Structure 1
Amino acid sequence: MLKLIGYRLLLAVPQLLIVSLLVFSLTYLVPGSVAAAILGDAAATPAAIAELEAHLGLDKPFFTRLFDWYAAALQGDLGTSLLSGQAVTDLITQRLPATLSLVVGGLVVAVILGMGLGIFAGIKAGQPRDRAVTGITAFMQSVPEFWLGQILVVVFVIQLQVAPVLAWTPPSQDVGRWLAGLILPAIALGVGTSALIARQTRTAVAAALGSRYIDTLVAAGVDRRRILWTYAFKNALVPALAAVGLAVGVLIGVSLVMEKVFSFPGIGTLMLQSVLAKDFPVVQGVALVVGVIVIIVNMVLDISYGLINPKARPA
């Protein structure tokens, strides 16, 4: 097991290097000058642009800037915002709790709803309720998350007035209001993603229950519930966890849009503002943090595979 953990940690290093290199390189493809955007149309003369670029270090060669950025990032310094002058690390730290709350809330909804529907359909594969669940999950997957979020806001916030107008409240201020404001965003974010988990879980449970060893257990008189939860569900967990890993990536991407619907002050809003303002240090920092989160989640899931299925462990 320690070998599996070490292997996954070692594999995460080149992944982070590739992600950071791509993010740093893509900022060079954005048209226009950062210095000109900061100065504005009136003050953006060639001399002023050249002076500001020299001051910000934007006139340095690509590899020099890349090496400096890597050296600083390894020490936890992601640079300074070109517009506000604040440290990028501070900006991300302030907004990351909102995004993580939204993603975790959506993941909880997606896992509970997805695995519940998947198990409900899988134990009766091919029967009417299986086909009903298939139709329901197809509908859930086709509904845009931002549209569902707007419908929930109109119904529960504006008409029924049972949900808070301001969805985001830091948990350090009031845990109850934080949870209350997280319910609608989590539902809007998790419903569509739960369809992916439900389909994978349904297939895995149906395959496990159709195995020969299940017939042997039934013939031996083992309780049906014990067969389902002790044997079939455990074997179905590996492909279900793979779907959860895919769901996390989807949730992170969609959460950046959902932040606008529910006015969450997260890193998605920060990223959008920074892209429009060509504040590249912030864009690079946010992209790197998102990449780290995705890599860590997948690494934890890979280790979970090894705990559930010894065959997934390296020899």
Structure 2
Amino acid sequence: MLKYIFKRLLSAVPVIFIVGILAFFLSRLSKGDPARVIAGTDATDSQVAAIRQQMGLDLPLPNQLWDWFIALLHGNFGYSYILNQSVSSAIASHIFPTLSVAIFGEILSLAIAIPLGILAADKQGTFTDKLVQGFATLTTSMPSFLVGLLLMLLFATRLNLLPVSGFVSPTESFSQYILHLILPAVSVTTLQIAIVARMTRSSMIDALSSDYIRTAVAKGLPRSQQLWHHGFKNAAIPVLTVVGQSFGELIAGSIIVETVFDIPGLGQLVVNSILRRDYQMIQGILIFVAIVFIFVNLITDVLYAVIDPRIRQESF
């Protein structure tokens, strides 16, 4: 297994390299000079030039890219002269709210989507099945920021049941921590609920037509045991693939949702960095999100072997 993990990590190197190049050049598409932002509007051209030299912005772009990649190899994501702190420390101070929204959203997604998918497969072709598919289509067509605004209007403004915005640390108040996470987590996970429910339904339909399910029926096992123990256990791998891929998307999607709900996470940090032309911060966050994608997909592949021993024998 260690050999397999090493191969997967090695194959991730060109992915990070390509993402790094894209992040480097995309961060420089916005107009404006970060040195001017730091120096202020009253600074002279010589003062701005000195700051550009200190930041390395006076070098040709290939040289700047090379220096950044060398720093990445040493675990250095860069330094934000605008915030006057390292990119790593800025990410560390903003990652917890983002992970809280993503993980809570993932839990909600699995708790809702998997039972809905199994129910739709068990009731294939009935009104219940069509209702679940209709719900999945509806949630797919609604962007997360729109869902967030609608939920905020209904549950926070009209009904006054949940907080409108903000984030509370669990060390301050765990109950308030959960209450502040509900609306953003639901907003960011609506699309994943639809995707996971559809994949669960499709995989379960194939599983329920298998011989081992007919054997379970012939033995007179309870329907719940047929569905969950025999059916879903064998249909879980495609679902796990979708869940693994979409978790990274939850982190990326939380960027917009955090802006809507004023959550001090990576999303807010990205938006502020774009407005300030903070190249190093933008690049560092994009690389960090790419690493999270790779890490989650690696965990997903390892879980395949835990669920299905046949995969362990073939791949590991």
Normalising by structure 2, what TM-score?
Answer: 0.90
Name the counterpart of 1:94. 93
Name the counterpart of 2:291. 292
Amino acid at match of 2:18: I
- C-alpha spacing 1:108/1:58, structure 2 compared with 1 (3 Å): same
Which whole-Å deviations, capped at 9, do the CAs of 1:29-73 have from their partners, x for residues lacking one?
44443323434555363x444332212211223343333323333
Aligned residues: 314
2: CA distance, partners of 1:289 / 1:220: 51
> Contact 1:109–1:191 at 8 Å: present in 2 too?
no
Amino acid at match of 2:124: A
Name the counterpart of 1:189. 188
- C-alpha spacing 1:224/1:162, structure 2 compared with 1 (3 Å): closer
Name the counterpart of 1:103. 102
> Contact 2:237–2:307 at 8 Å: present in 1 too?
yes
Shift of 1:165: 4.2
Secondary structure of residue in 2 paired with 1:161: coil
Name the counterpart of 1:19. 19
2: CA distance, partners of 1:278 / 1:233: 48
2: CA distance, partners of 1:62 / 1:150: 40
Shift of 1:181: 1.1
Name the counterpart of 1:7. 7
Q: Where in structure 2 are there 5+ consecutive unaligned residues?
A: none
Name the counterpart of 2:34. 34
Task: Report which stretch shifted further, 84-93 or 10-19.
Answer: 10-19
2: CA distance, partners of 1:5 / 1:297: 12
Which whole-Å deviations, capped at 9, do the CAs of 1:178-202 have from their partners, x for residues lacking one?
1121112112222232011000000
1: CA distance, partners of 2:244 / 2:120: 21
Query: Could you say what the CA RMSD is over the residues aligned between the two structures, in angstroms?
Result: 2.2
2: CA distance, partners of 1:223 / 1:6: 43
1:133-148 correspondence to structure 2 within 5 Å = 133-148=132-147
Which whole-Å deviations, capped at 9, do the CAs of 1:195-234 have from their partners, x for residues lacking one?
1100000000011001233223323444433322222101
Name the counterpart of 2:68. 69
1: CA distance, partners of 2:219 / 2:206: 20
Q: Say whether 1:243 aligns with 2:236.
A: no
Secondary structure of residue in 2 paired with 1:77: coil
Name the counterpart of 2:149. 150
2: CA distance, partners of 1:140 / 1:275: 29
> Contact 2:248–2:292 at 8 Å: present in 1 too?
no
Q: Percent identity?
A: 37
Shift of 1:155: 2.5
> Contact 1:4–1:303 at 8 Å: present in 2 too?
no
Name the counterpart of 1:265. 264
> Contact 1:170–1:178 at 8 Å: present in 2 too?
yes
Amino acid at match of 1:6: F
2: CA distance, partners of 1:79 / 1:6: 26
Shift of 1:149: 1.5
Which whole-Å deviations, capped at 9, do the CAs of 1:236-262 have from their partners, x for residues lacking one?
111111221232233223211111221
Q: Give structure 1 regions of 4+ aligned residues with deviation exceeding 6 angstroms.
A: none
Secondary structure of residue in 1 paired with 2:67: helix
